Amino acid sequence: MFDVDTLRKDFPILSRQVHGQPLVYLDNAATTQKPRQVIDSLVHYYENYNANIHRGLHKLAEEATEAYEGSRAKVARFIKSPEGARSVIFTRNCTESLNLVANAWGRKFLNAGDEIVLSVLEHHSNLVPWQLIAKEKGAVLKFVDIDGEGRLRVDQLEQLIGPRTKIVSLVHASNVLGINPVRYAAELAHRQGAIMVVDGAQSVPNMPVDVGDLGCDFLAFSGHKMAGPTGIGVLWGKPDILEAMDPFLGGGEMISRVLLEESTWNELPWKYEAGTPNIADGIALGAAVDYLEGIGMENVRAHEKSLAAYAIDRMSALPEVTIYGPKDPEERVGVVAFNYGDIHPHDLSQVLDQRGIAIRAGHHCAQPLMRRLDCVATARASFYVYNTFAEIDKLVEALEGAGRFFDPDAAAAARMS
Ligand code: 7TS
């Protein structure tokens, strides 16, 4: 394993104070903090070799192109891309990656009456793009439900994937509940000749992901949730499918030959990268991959699992706390969504903020899931490599304090004394 106290020194932000208290950052599912190595990589690029890539024949352009393409190769290695960097398309984020598939694949291959299988626990990013293309094409959306513990209903998955299914798109690790059996879903999809899309926004940053082993056709994720910068995301796709689709956006970079009336396309992966890309953040994503590989994704996973186990254990001891999703940490990443009695999560989050503790409160861009769980919102603590057991102790202590603060009986008793 690694030494968390040493590792924390790599993250400058972790030494800041919030409301006079040391920052306890537990909002990692929204975005993770960045190590010095990633920040330095951005500054180094802008200070030393800022240039547009692929087109210049001067030294700076060569260096920038090499670093950007080197980063793509690192990402390919990180997820064990069977056909290497050709499969790795840089986008702005996971959301754009999913929109790319919905638009480029959907526009070309979807027909009226075709079915798209999703689940009720998807992030809006894996719902809205499919709603849009389904409406345009007259395709039909089908939703797999969850069981009482928040697990995906595999029996329904088996039922819903049928001969009319063209696309199955599921989140690998939920930003609210648990980990889904996407490898099995890919098998079911392929038996029916459908494609399998995986939203890896919460899995790729938190556990080893071998994309070949998953058996999917597309995998989407964001750099900013894996210690990388904002503004850079990835769509991994099988080359034969990427070849068969038409481009998503048109413009410079993505073309081979342009005539006035029509054009031909660049090779993979550049066919899907129109215009000047996000060079700096693409390069810095490579630094984030180096950083995570230095720790080892097995170790990242093990650390988060033990944090989640400890948090669930301690929080379950508070009678007012309801934790959502499977309780076995094997079945989730470092995400613990919960409610505390009838305290609104926004109020809870504000009280915790006064103690320097950052959690997320709200619908987590999963409004249909909130409805399904019969709550308007939840609080959520989410962990990353730099979080500690002591921080979870602080969270639990602060929750107890919030419980007393919002408890009318306790407040009345305090006034009387
Ligand atoms: N899919 C999942 C499962 C996510 O958790 C998120 C972001 C996305 C897709 C979209 O990622 P983006 O980088 O394109 O925005 N989830 C969250 C969250 O839980 N809190 O803030 C963002």
Per-residue pLDDT of 363-416, as tens digits, reads: 999 999 999 999 999 999 999 999 999 999 999 999 999 989 888 676 566 666
pLDDT at 408: 65
Out of 94, 204, 221, 234, mutate this one to test ligand 1's pocket (max ligand atoms within 8 Å of CB): namely: 94
Out of 95, 96, 383, mutate this one to test ligand 1's pocket (max ligand atoms within 8 Å of CB): namely: 95
- Please name the residue whose Cα sits nearest to atom 22 of ligand 1: 30
- Please name the residue whose Cα sits nearest to atom 4 of ligand 1: 201
pLDDT in tens, 208-257: 999 999 999 999 999 999 999 999 999 999 999 999 999 999 999 999 99
- Please name the residue whose Cα sits nearest to atom 15 of ligand 1: 95
- Residue 394 CB–ligand 1 contact under 6 Å: no
Is residue 345's pLDDT more than 90? Answer: yes
Query: What ligand 1 atom has the least distance to the C-alpha of 176?
Result: 19
Quickly list H helices, 51-125. 59-78, 94-109
Out of 180, 202, 333, mutate this one to test ligand 1's pocket (max ligand atoms within 8 Å of CB): namely: 202
Q: How many CB atoms lie within 10 A of CB 289?
A: 23
- Residue 128 CB–ligand 1 contact under 6 Å: no
- Residue 165 CB–ligand 1 contact under 6 Å: no
- Residue 125 CB–ligand 1 contact under 6 Å: yes
Q: In the numeric block, which tokens belong to residue 159?
A: 């039922």
pLDDT in tens, 114-131: 999 999 999 999 999 999
pLDDT at 415: 60
pLDDT in tens, 18-70: 999 999 999 999 999 999 999 999 999 999 999 999 977 899 999 999 999 99
Is residue 300's pLDDT more than 80? Answer: yes
pLDDT at 226: 98
Query: What ligand 1 atom has the least distance to the C-alpha of 94?
Result: 14
- Sort residue 80 into left (φ over 0), alpha (ψ -120 to 50) or beta: left
Average pLDDT over residues 326-350: 96
Residue from 88, 94, 53, 91 nearest 74 by CA: 88
From the candidates 94, 216, 365, 375, which is the catalytic residue?
Answer: 365
Per-residue DSSP letters for 18-37?
ETTEE-EE-BTTT-----HH
Q: How far is the CA of 30 from the centre of ligand 1 (A)?
A: 6
How would residue 359 be classed by pLDDT, with cut points 50, 70 and 90? very high
215 and 267 Cβ atoms separated by less than 8 Å: no
381 and 26 Cβ atoms separated by less than 8 Å: yes
pLDDT at 417: 62
Q: What are phi and psi of 41, to 5 degrees?
A: -65, -40
Please classify residue 324 by burial: count the beta carbons closer than 10 Å to its beta carbon, then call 0-12 exposed, 13-18 middle and 19+ buried: buried
232 and 277 Cβ atoms separated by less than 8 Å: no
**Claim: this prediction has a pTM higher than 0.95:** yes
pLDDT in tens, 270-288: 999 999 999 999 999 999 9
Average pLDDT, the chain: 96
Among this protein's residues, is 216 annotated catalytic? no
- Rounded CA-CA distance 106/96 in Å is 14
pLDDT at 405: 87
Is residue 362's pLDDT more than 80? Answer: yes
Residue from 56, 394, 273 nearest 265 by CA: 273
Instruction: Please report, to the nearest 10 degrees, the dihedral formed by the alpha carbons of residues 399, 405, 410, 413 taken in order.
Output: 140
Cβ neighbours of residue 100 closer than 8 Å, sequence gap 6 or more:
89, 91, 235, 248, 272
Q: How far is the CA of 78 from the centre of ligand 1 (A)?
A: 20
pLDDT at 414: 60
Cis peptide before 269 (omega within 30 of 0): yes
297 and 342 Cβ atoms separated by less than 8 Å: no
User: Domains plus CATH for the chain?
Assistant: 4-30+296-416 (3.90.1150.10), 38-294 (3.40.640.10)
Q: In the numeric block, which tokens belong to residue 182?
A: 């996407």
